Chains A and B, each alone.
Chain A
Amino acid sequence: VIEPRSPRRPYDGVVICAPVTVPYRRFSTNSAHWWIGRALRELTKAAGLRPKDLDGLSVSSFTVGPDTAVGLTQHFGLSPRWLDHVPFGGASAIVALRRAARAVEAGDVDFVACVAGDTNHVDSFRKTLSTFSRFAQDAVYPYGAGGANASFALITKNYMNAYGAKREDFGLICVAQRDNALAFPHALMKKPLTLDEYMAARAIADPIHLFDCVMPCAGAEVFLVCREDAARSLGLKAVRLLSTIERHNAFPEDAIQSRGGWAVDIDELWSMAGVRPDDVDLLETYDDYPVIVMMQFEDLGFCRKGEGPDFVRSHKLTADGTFPHNTSGGQLSVGQAGAAGGYLGLVEAIRQLTGTALGATVKDAKIAAVSGFGMINYDRGLSSCAAVLAGSA
């Protein structure tokens, strides 16, 4: 028998600042290197640093191959003393953040640029799908080649069967996010979306219809992790990191995924943060499909398992609503720029908590929760993570 773990040490004096988005494009003829390079340059400008001041770098990308973070140091002329490569898809941002935060706290590094960027060539999405993982190659892609749409169709269908969710319930999530996106300058989806339009959309992989799917695109997101005093000396508005969790391949015994790894670690997330779900002013979930948003509402403790449909029916999910959620529009309306999709919510939360939102603003936002989810390796998303952030004011 293994002894119970000692409680985790809280984060001490670590902040996140300088959120930057390189505006998304549906297709790009540029490489991932171009997108990541542009993000880093914008970051240095936003933070008032020189490139050589970046002594830490964490990179997430699906399309930067054959390079890794190591090759990028030479490509960008950086000489970091701390380097990380986090190819974790939708879990990239929070995983990168929690590693960077501990390194900064320990004094191993001063400024970590956490960056995610991907390009989207005309045929790169299909190529990414067909070679996504060994299990995808052996046991998923040859089955109709529906990609994540088909995998999430099975997860969604199972959830609907188990908990009585209706397509309309998922539609409420998508419609509210579109409302948020209309005010967000970087969103690729600029047209309003009604529930009727959502319901009438063409089927992609039943019960997944068009507006349940994200649009693959090119883009990059970046933020800076450093000590609180360093951010202050640079005059940067920053947010504090209260707690994080991370879990991979949870609940392998579930025949079909109906919960994510958050459910394993949820008590730790809130106890370490010292706040409760009720204290949260905005939630940024990973939204490649609305079913996984509903699971995050449940597994992060905003409602109980199976209550997701009721929760979305009884809350207004827009930035000015009773439960502000994916306030920039999320990937469903902004677009999914590869691994940058995993950064979208965290970058938006930093903006909301520092009063620098680009679009719809959550009034008096002090506490934000952000969650990530990633990597359909075979039949389910393997990686889940979450962070609780607080504004410095």
Chain B
Amino acid sequence: MTRPLQPPKRKNPLKRTRLPLGPQATRSRTAHGLTAAAAEGRFALQVCLDCGTVIYPPRDACPSCLSARLPFRDIDPSGRLVAETTVRISTDPYFRERTPWRVGAVKLDAGPVIVAHLHDDTTEGEAVRLALKLDKAGAPVVLALPAQETPNMQDDPQLREMTCDPKFRRVLITDGRTAVGQAMAQAFSEAGASIVFVGIADPWKPFAGIDALRRLERVEIVPLDVTDSESVNEQAQQNGGRIDIVVNTAEHTRAGGIIDRHGITVARDEMDVRYFGLMRLAQAFGPTLRFRGADGVNSATAFVNLLSVHALANWPAYGAHSAVEAACLSTAQCLRAELRAGGVKVLNAFFGPLETEWFQTVPPPKVAPAVLARAVVDALRRGLEDVFVGDVAEDIRARLAVNPKALERELAS
């Protein structure tokens, strides 16, 4: 049984911070099919379209019939742990710090044998279910979990290395004035975060929800204005060294496309809050996050972007907004590459229209802020990089995969 995680002791500021390391991240191009599945929390392996063989490790020819038609498909993750070992001596600096480390050979019911990391509650000879995870280096790995849920299983040290569980971590919600910001604060408080810093610009200005926000456990309201570099830097100096998860909830959503708008004032505001706001946050908090990626139980672990799914395909009714979101998506990709060296994940949560005033005229289905907040917490617990929240987001993703051109035409009508 997994021992419940103990809250970390107060850090001795005189002690050296352990620097982040990662396992080897190099993969063949084909193996990045696993990366794509792991990023979304699916368990997918190659399946031969000609003979049905399920294939692992990833290959470029089927070992049964030599076919090259080997797409990744979601696979039943059940199997049996045939043999296990505990690695006590490792040549790799990352694992040297983390031994003893259990690995084992799992015979998947679907066919292949997979060498996998082992959750502590797995037992040799017994059933397990496999999950694809992104390890500290951001590379895809297979983790064997017990077939049934076990007490405290989320606290397993291996699992925690591959996920961004908010439990006992300190979170910054960058804007608490919005409905989404307040829902995030509540969700992270409930998820066991040890402190939830909630940024408020111009705290003297009253806003709806302030009382409820103050009543939340372990919430601390702090001054933060993402459009003001000085404010962002000040907050980073104040609390940056003890923030493990940044959730950027700053939003600026206005309807309308490009040519029917007059001038660029609105667009400039959108860019200032969303694009430059993200850049200010990344520059102020990013270096410390990256430095603290292996800093114990409450190591820095994630930067969360909330992105309109229309970052992926422009929705002309909110055309300028979509363009700004696309800029933020591209920024997030860069940030992901830059934070990877510290083992810090960038989670992009894509959502459709929200149940907020800025989408008042848009018909349902819409995403309630609390649903988005719970989805973000769940995605962090699972260690995902991309999560699609709500029916519209799922729909856009599916249509984009089939025919981007059709989607472009249909979003315009």
Contacts and interface: CB of A to CB of B under 8 A. Distances in A.
Interface string B92-130: 101100010101110100000111110000001100000
Contact of A154 (B28, B83, B92): B83
* Most A Cβ at <10 Å: residue of B86, B104, B114: B86
Given A130-B24, A256-B82, A256-B83, A145 B92 contact: yes
Contacts of A143: 103, 115-117, 141
B69 interface: no
Interface string B169-206: 00000000000000000000000000000000000000
Contacts of B115: 139-140, 143, 154, 378-379
Given A144-B95, A149-B89, A256-B113, A154 B24 contact: no
Given A252-B63, A379-B105, A142 B56 contact: no
A129 interface: yes
A255 interface: yes
A157 interface: yes
Contacts of B2: none
B87 A144 contact: yes
Given A146-B90, A252-B63, A154 B105 contact: yes
B135 interface: yes
Interface in A120-152: 125-126, 129-130, 134-135, 137-147, 149-150
Interface of A: 125-126, 129-130, 134-135, 137-147, 149-150, 153-155, 157-158, 161, 202-208, 252, 255-256, 378-379
B238 interface: no
B141 A142 contact: yes
B139 interface: yes
Nearest to B85: A153
A142 B24 contact: yes
A145 B137 CA distance: 14
A126 B105 contact: no
A146 B103 contact: yes
Nearest to B107: A255
B338 interface: no
Given A139-B114, A147-B91, A150-B87, 14 more contacts: A129-B91, A134-B57, A138-B31, A141-B24, A144-B95, A144-B99, A154-B85, A154-B103, A154-B104, A157-B85, A161-B124, A204-B88, A205-B85, A378-B115
Interface in B133-169: 135, 137, 139, 141
Given A137-B28, A139-B56, A141-B24, A146 B85 contact: yes
Nearest to B80: A255
B287 interface: no
* Most B Cβ at <10 Å: residue of A138, A154, A208: A138
Contacts of A204: 88-89
B89 A146 contact: yes
A293 to B, nearest CB: 19
Contacts of A256: 82-83, 105, 113
Contacts of A129: 91
A137 B24 contact: yes
B23 interface: yes
A138 B117 contact: no
A137 B26 contact: yes
Contact of B135 (A142, A150, A206, A255): A142
B236 to A, nearest CB: 33
Nearest to B90: A145
* 3 tightest Cβ-Cβ pairs between the two chains A and B: A145-B92, A153-B85, A144-B87
Nearest to A140: B115
Contacts of A255: 82, 105, 107, 113
Given A145-B23, A154-B105, A157-B83, A139 B57 contact: yes
Contacts of A135: 57
A204 B104 CA distance: 15
Contacts of B11: none
B84 interface: yes
B293 interface: no
A144 B83 contact: no
Given A137-B24, A142-B135, A255-B105, A125 B91 contact: yes
A146 B57 CA distance: 18
A135 B27 CA distance: 9
Given A150-B85, A379-B113, A379-B115, A144 B24 contact: no
B240 interface: no
Contact of B28 (A130, A138, A153, A379): A138
Nearest to B102: A144
12 contacts: A137-B28, A138-B27, A143-B116, A143-B117, A145-B91, A153-B87, A155-B83, A157-B85, A203-B88, A205-B89, A256-B105, A379-B115
B342 interface: no
A138 B45 CA distance: 13
Contacts of B125: 161
B390 interface: no
B145 to A, nearest CB: 15
A366 to B, nearest CB: 41
B58 interface: yes
A286 B99 CA distance: 29
Contacts of B28: 134, 137-138
B340 to A, nearest CB: 14
Contacts of B86: 203, 205-206
A377 B310 CA distance: 44
Contacts of B63: 252
A256 B101 CA distance: 20
A134 B92 CA distance: 18
Nearest to A210: B89
B87 A146 contact: yes
B22 to A, nearest CB: 9
* Most B Cβ at <10 Å: residue of A139, A150, A153: A139
B89 A142 contact: no
A294 to B, nearest CB: 16
